[in-house]
Every structure is written in structure tokens, then in C-alpha cells.
Structure 1
Amino acid sequence: MKKSIIMLSFGMMAAAFNSCGKNEKPDVLIEENTTETALTEMPAEMATANPQDEMLKKAQSHPLTNLVLSENHFDFKEVKKGESVEHIYEVTNTGENPLIISEVKPGCGCTAPNFTKTPILPGQKGQITLKFDSASFDGPQNKQAEVYANVENAPIILSFSANVIN
């Protein structure tokens, strides 16, 4: 009798329905054989802390500051299928401590982030760029990215929309 082990996470299952994947650690172990299927929780030592909590801790480990965004949403309007488009969101440090963007986590593999990686001094500006690859999409799209920084209300959500046409 052949026995196989399949590891799934809820994020991976959602990604299968969303056509954009995320690499996440499994939190459920399914043992499958030809006569029965058992669903068991993974031992605590195998489970990892929530990655979002870890990113938040890292971001807020520095003295907190304040920021102002040029905008939190951008509309690309119509984008031809297969075209890659990008938008730059401007970030201004309005606090008294250096602003440190520790991570920008897109909600989808179709979005590539880039951001100012050096501390942004008070009164200075930085950038967060989101690049969208429309190759796998048709019609109206709404995407977002989480920005982890040393601000009180992290993560900050940036979003964009596009209508992908042929």
C-alpha cells in the first residue's frame, strides 16, 4: 500500500483560486493513503509564528515616527494584457525619528515592489514602487501591498486598480 504526505496551508489553497501565489509555510498536515485520509495539526515546534506578526515586530523595533503618502490608491485605467506598468507612491517622513521601511509585501505574485531601503530622515521623502504584470489577467483588477514601517498603524495598505484589455 502506497502512502503519501500532502502539506497545504490555507494561504496556498486561496492562492490556487486567485491565480497568484504566495509562498507560505504549511500549517496543516494531511496524511493520505488509499483507505483513509487523516487531517492532523502540525506539532507546535514545526509551526512558525505568523509572518505578518514577525514583519510588524521588525518594523516597529525602531523608534516610531509618522508618514504621509502622496496617495494610497492609484488607477492605471486601461492596460493591455501582457503589459507591465508601475506606479511610484511618494512617502514623506513627518515625524521626529528616521522612517525605516522594512518590507513591502504584495498581495499577489503579479506585483513586484521596490522601495527606499535607507532610513528616510525627518522631513525627507522616499518612494515605494509597485510594478504590475498584467499577463495573467482580464478585466477589472484590484491589487494591494502591505507596507511595514516603524509607524504606529502598520501595515499601511497601498492599492491600485487596472482594467486589463486585449
Structure 2
Amino acid sequence: MKKFILSLFASMLLTTALWAQSQTTTPANPVDGKVKFAKETIDFGKTKFNKPVSVDFEFTNVSKEPVIIETARASCGCTTPTWTKEPILPGKKGKITAGYSANSVGTQNKTIWVKVKGVDQDKELHLTGQVEN
């Protein structure tokens, strides 16, 4: 009986360890298994009202296959994303450029959703900053 309890305890311990390892190696967002962004949030700092700013969200293809960015869409019309249209080969870099019109005074927090071909879940990127008069 003692051996049975010890082997049951050992199996539970092993199962828990394997489960914990699988949780740490699985990306939270499936896009993370395809591309790795250098920064997911970029603060453009301070800018003047109606003085547009532009930032680049650079990424690397970390998969073993070419990656295609299908779309990048913004949370409002004041932010215009453009992106690398051609397939990005494994190990190569691409970018999402976010242009912001700065047409509203105050603290800004804009979201860009990136759709990677073959992945159902979008990746969120954030553009923050301060627009002053």
C-alpha cells in the first residue's frame, strides 16, 4: 500500500511538472509563435497639436515558414497603419508603421490589431503619447 501511494504521489508530481512546463512554452497569443515584435507598445513622447507622428513596430519572423501580414487596423481614423506586404522569410524582419495625426490634445493611447495569415487571433500593438497645444 505504501508503494502504491508513493507511486501515485510521484505520478501526480510528474504530471504537474509537465503541465507547468507546457504552460510556460506555449505563447499567450498564437501570433507570438510566428512573429516577435521588438516593442508592443511605443510611446511617441510629446508632440504639438496637428503635428503628425509616425512610429515603426519592427518584428522578426520566428517561425520556420514565410509569414504574411494580412491586415493592420487601428482603433480610430486618426491612426493609419501600413505594413510589409510581401512574405517575410524565417529570420527576416518586417514592420508595421503607425502614422498618428495628433488631432486631439491630451494623453493618447491607440491600438493597432495585426492579422497574420493562418492565425485566428489578432496581435495588439499600442501607440501612446501626449499631444499639447
> What TM-score, normalized to structure 1?
0.58
Runs of 4+ in 1 over 2 A off after TM superposition: 150-154
Separation in structure 2 between the aligned mates of residue 130 and residue 157 of structure 1, nearest angstrom:
13
Q: Which residue of 2 aligns with 1:154?
A: 121
Structure with greater helix percent? 2
Which residue of the other structure, out of 105, 109, 115, is the alignment partner of 1:142? 109
Unaligned runs of 5+ residues in structure 2 are 1-32
Separation in structure 2 between the aligned mates of residue 127 and residue 151 of structure 1, nearest angstrom:
18
Shift of 1:107: 0.7
Shift of 1:77: 1.3
Unaligned runs of 5+ residues in structure 1 are 1-64
Shift of 1:100: 0.5
The more displaced of 79-88 and 146-155 is: 146-155
Confirm or deny that 1:103 pairs with 2:87.
Answer: no
The structure with higher relative contact order (CA 8 Å, sep 6+) is 2
CA RMSD of aligned residues (A): 1.7
Shift of 1:91: 1.1
> What TM-score, normalized to structure 2?
0.72
Q: Which residue of 2 aligns with 1:164?
A: 131
Within 5 Å, give how 1:1-166 maps onto structure 2.
66-135=34-103, 137-150=104-117, 152=119, 154-166=121-133
* Identity across the alignment (%): 34
Shift of 1:150: 3.0
Preserved contact between residue 66 and residue 151 of structure 1 (Cα < 8 Å): no
The count of residues paired between Structure 1 and Structure 2 equals: 102
Separation in structure 2 between the aligned mates of residue 90 and residue 155 of structure 1, nearest angstrom:
16
Q: Specify the SS of the correspondent of 1:83.
A: coil
Q: Deviations over 1:113-162 (max 9, x none)?
A: 11000000101111110000012x01111001100003647300011111
